[in-house]
């Protein structure tokens, strides 16, 4: 099964496999959303089965919760867990300061709440997600459906004063209808091309009426784990410290045998 994975999927798996090494027995762990996070959930469930770890997990979306429970992980609401030791999640982009764009999976609100309710956030990604400047990936902004056109217009007007290269705003669709988040909101994708000042942009967006949250994660990520298709893994800390290792992808047949999708 491992041989059938694409290079990108091998890289995602390598990052996920390394990241779950940070989890220890008794932890309360936040589980991210997205294709990379799905690998992480499988790797974590594999450790629980093999080592008998006792973990309490909080999911950032209903689909992550469903996957985690199907693999035998204990999932509770954040209100029950109250505070987490660690959250592991993916990212759509990460820059040299470990600032992120997240929300490609439309779960940015819950992801940010869970991440900021954790002592530590570890971000996992294939190496292609590391960029010099954020913005090539469209920035998701979660907005209330009521008056969303007015909200989009206000965002567009305010973008004129921001250090960005593009101003195109698109409502994310699910077929012929607007996509709905787990909180029943809409997502506006901002095609900005380059974001010169992510912090200023994040502050501006969250001051606009109708905006619930934006997909810029600033000063939240503590560690970035980057996977490569050959199994190499880079671990980058927020203080600039780096280390490298390797994951044996071919030796993980038990995880791949669980794949049913």
Q: Which CATH architecture does the domain made up of 2-128+219-256 adopt?
A: 3-Layer(aba) Sandwich (3.40)
Q: Do the first three CATH levels of 2-128+219-256 and 139-212 match, i.e. the same topology? A: no
- Over residues 83-109, mean pLDDT: 98
Predicted confidence at residue 255, as pLDDT, reads: 66
Q: What's the half-sphere exposure (Cβ side, CA atoms, 13 Å) at 55?
A: 32
Rounded to whole angstroms, what are the CA distances from 88 to 22, 91, 145, 184, 192? 9, 10, 29, 24, 27
Q: Is the dihedral of CA 120, 20, 91, 231 positive or negative?
A: positive
Taking the C-alpha atoms of residue 180 and residue 185, their distance in angstroms, rounded to an integer, is: 5
- Over residues 56-65, mean pLDDT: 98
Q: Which of 93, 111, 142, 213 is catalytic?
A: 111
Phi-psi region of 41 (alpha: psi -120 to 50; beta: other; left: phi over 0): alpha
Residue 3 reports pLDDT greater than 80: no
Predicted confidence at residue 202, as pLDDT, reads: 98
Predicted confidence at residue 197, as pLDDT, reads: 98
Per-chain mean pLDDT for the chain = 95
Q: By percentage, how much of the chain surpasses pLDDT 90?
A: 94
- Give residue 18's pLDDT band: very low, low, confident or very high (50, 70, 90): very high
Record: fold of 139-212? Alpha-Beta Plaits (3.30.70)
9 is catalytic: no
CA-nearest of 122, 132, 103 to 202 is 103
DSSP of 108-158: HHHHHHHHHTBS-EEEEEEGGGB-SSS-SSPEEEEE-STTHHHHHHHHHHH
Residue 170 reports pLDDT greater than 70: yes
Read off the pTM: 0.95
Domain ranges of the chain: 2-128+219-256, 139-212
Residue 91 reports pLDDT greater than 80: yes
């Amino acid at each position: 099964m491992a041989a059938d994975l694409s290079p990108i999927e091998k890289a995602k798996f390598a990052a996920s496999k390394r990241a779950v090494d940070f989890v220890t027995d008794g932890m309360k762990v936040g589980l991210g959303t997205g294709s990379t996070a799905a690998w992480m959930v499988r790797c974590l469930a594999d450790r629980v089965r093999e080592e008998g770890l006792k973990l309490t997990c909080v999911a950032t979306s209903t689909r992550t919760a469903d996957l985690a429970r199907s693999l035998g992980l204990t999932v509770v609401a954040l209100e029950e867990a109250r505070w987490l030791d660690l959250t592991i999640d993916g990212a759509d982009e990460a820059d040299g300061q470990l600032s992120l764009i997240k929300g490609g999976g439309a779960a940015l609100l819950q992801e940010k709440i869970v991440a900021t309710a954790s002592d530590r956030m570890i971000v996992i990604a294939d190496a292609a997600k590391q960029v010099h400047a954020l913005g090539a990936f469209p920035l998701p902004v979660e907005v209330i459906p009521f008056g969303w056109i007015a909200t989009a217009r206000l965002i567009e007007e305010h973008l004129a004063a921001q250090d960005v290269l593009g101003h195109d705003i698109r409502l994310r669709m699910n077929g012929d209808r607007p996509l709905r988040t787990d909180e029943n909101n809409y997502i506006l994708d901002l095609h900005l091309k380059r974001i010169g000042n992510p912090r200023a942009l994040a502050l501006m967006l969250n001051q606009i009426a109708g905006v619930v949250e934006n997909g810029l994660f600033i000063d939240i990520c503590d560690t970035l784990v980057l996977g490569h298709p050959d199994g190499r893994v880079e671990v980058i800390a927020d203080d600039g410290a780096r280390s490298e290792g390797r994951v044996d992808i071919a030796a993980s047949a038990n995880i791949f045998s669980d794949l049913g999708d």
